[in-house]
Amino acid sequence: MVKGNQSFVFESKPVIISSATVGGPLEAEGPLSEDIDILHDDPYIGQDSFEKAEKLMLEQAATKALEKAGVSKYDVGIFISGDLINQIISSSFAARTIGIPYLGIYGACSSSMEGLTIAASFVDGQKVKYVLTGACSHNNCAEKQYRYPNEYGAQKPPTSQWTVTGAGACLLASEGKGPKVTAATVGRIVDMGLTDPFNMGAAMAPAAVDTIEAHLRDLGIEPDYYDIIVTGDLGAVGHKIALDKFKEDGINIDEKKFMDCGMMIYDREKQPQVFAGGSGCASSAVTVYGHLLKKMREGHIKKMLAVATGALHSPLSYQQKESIPCIAHAVAIEM
């Protein structure tokens, strides 16, 4: 059911019956490592390229999610996934292996919640019984494509962020036990004219605020309706900008309840190489599908608004001196 201008309420409340996450070496050293199902100490994961390693992590997350639920891939109607590599080859090549009918999506780092929104729509519309959705990213792949290969040793400013090496997947069903997807808000493009690929948090923060405010407005609720509102990868810089913007707009959000996956997945004091925090599709996929859904299942969180943020630029648009258009998609999850 449509609510307001940008939101949907899922009347059947599709259930996340299982979820699984995979992480790389730096994620294994981070504060959420215990909530990641599969950890790797080699960024290549035994493959001969970082791109193949990223694909493998998505395959592992998807397979693990199905295994946890005890559901055969032959019973799953659709697999929805996205990533950051050109032409989303990690998702498409993983889908080749998984063998489930596939919809590839691209929302940059917002892909996890974009996929979850589409998945919930299919289940809510009674089109299929099960939908598997996921997202992945790899630090070495993202640096190579968008900035400079890590092997170059290029210097980075304090505003830069570390692309999370990992993958997350969740399985939605029309019935069962687990957190329920109750509503979603599809974001609008917000472009503040920023052009610096080393300051993604500042570029994406206005989009996160715009989507959260639209969600609250469309559903007629206050921020304290949720136990936690978590963004995907604003990092320390974007998180502060978002808080300042909420205050400016008269939105009263409890700072203790407003969190960011990119700030949660790493310990910035012990892992200074991440600078302002984590980013990438896996930032929200690993944190939400792993740590936060576990907290919900344990009863620590009852209502969560997960807002994945994405910068929709490319090397080509950057070379043409275009600014960075950004977007954020919000999904309400409740026990």
Burial class (CB in 10 A: 0-12, 13-18, 19+), 211: buried
Summary mean pLDDT of the chain: 96
**% pLDDT > 90, the chain:** 91
146 plus 93 within the same structural domain: yes
63 plus 33 within the same structural domain: yes
pLDDT per residue as tens digits for the range 306-323: 999 999 999 889 889 999
Q: Sorting pLDDT into bands at 50, 70 and 90, what band is 146?
A: confident
DSSP reduced 3-state for 240: helix
Strand partners, 163: 279
Residue 247 in any domain: the answer is yes
153 plus 195 within the same structural domain: no
CA distance 233 to 93: 25
pLDDT score of 258 = 98
**% pLDDT > 70, the chain:** 98
Biggest distance spanned by C-alpha atoms of the chain: 52
Question: Residue 278: which domain range?
Answer: 180-334
251 plus 160 within the same structural domain: no
Provide the residue count of the chain: 335
Residue whose tokens read 């959705």: 133
* Residue range 121-141: mean pLDDT, rounded: 96
25 plus 167 within the same structural domain: yes
Instruction: Judge contact between 175 and 71, C-beta under 8 A.
Output: no
Residue 1 in any domain: the answer is no
Task: Name the domain boundary from 140, 173, 206.
Answer: 173
Q: Token digits for 254?
A: 């409890």
pLDDT score of 148 = 63
Q: Token digits for 310?
A: 């994405």
Task: Name the domain boundary from 144, 173, 202.
Answer: 173
Instruction: Judge contact between 163 and 143, C-beta under 8 A.
Output: yes
CA distance 81 to 127: 18
Give yes or no for residue 23 having a pLDDT over 80: yes
* Residue range 130-143: mean pLDDT, rounded: 96
Q: Which residue has the higher pLDDT, 89 or 145?
A: 89
53 plus 131 within the same structural domain: yes
Residue 3 in any domain: the answer is no
Q: Do the bridges between strand 15-23 and strand 38-39 make them parallel or antiparallel, or are there none, so unpaired?
A: parallel
pTM of the predicted model as reported, rounded to 2 decimal places: 0.96
The three-point CA angle 238-239-243 to 5° equals: 115
For residue 29, how many other CB atoms are within 10 A of its CB? 15
Structural domains of the chain, count: 2
232 plus 313 within the same structural domain: yes
pLDDT score of 154 = 73
pLDDT score of 145 = 87
Q: Token digits for 117?
A: 């929104």
CA distance 289 to 92: 21
Give yes or no for residue 210 having a pLDDT over 90: yes
Residue whose tokens read 């009918």: 101
Identify the DSSP state of 43: T
153 plus 233 within the same structural domain: no
CA distance 249 to 96: 46
The answer for residues whose C-beta is within 8 angstroms of residue 231's C-beta and 6 or more apart is: 208, 238, 239, 242, 258, 259, 260, 261, 262, 307, 308, 309, 328
Q: Is the dihedral of CA 250, 254, 257, 261 positive or negative?
A: positive
pLDDT per residue as tens digits for the range 37-94: 999 999 999 999 999 999 999 999 999 999 999 999 999 999 999 999 999 999 999 9
Q: Which residue has the higher pLDDT, 153 or 273?
A: 273
39 plus 157 within the same structural domain: yes
pLDDT per residue as tens digits for the range 288-307: 999 999 999 999 999 999 99
Burial class (CB in 10 A: 0-12, 13-18, 19+), 200: buried
Alpha helices in 18-175 (DSSP H): 25-28, 50-69, 89-98, 111-124, 139-146
Instruction: Judge contact between 311 and 109, C-beta under 8 A.
Output: yes
pLDDT per residue as tens digits for the range 271-283: 999 999 999 999 9
* Residue range 138-147: mean pLDDT, rounded: 90
Q: Which residue has the higher pLDDT, 41 or 154?
A: 41
Give yes or no for residue 238 having a pLDDT over 80: yes
Q: Sorting pLDDT into bands at 50, 70 and 90, what band is 193?
A: very high
CA distance 110 to 245: 20
**Which CATH number fits the domain that encloses residue 209?**
3.40.47.40
Q: Sorting pLDDT into bands at 50, 70 and 90, what band is 29?
A: very high
pLDDT score of 152 = 67
Residue 75 in any domain: the answer is yes
Residue 2 in any domain: the answer is no
pLDDT score of 144 = 87
195 plus 133 within the same structural domain: no
Give yes or no for residue 105 having a pLDDT over 90: yes
Identify the DSSP state of 275: B
CA distance 40 to 194: 35
* Residue range 189-214: mean pLDDT, rounded: 96
| Amino acid identity at 320 | Q
pLDDT score of 173 = 98
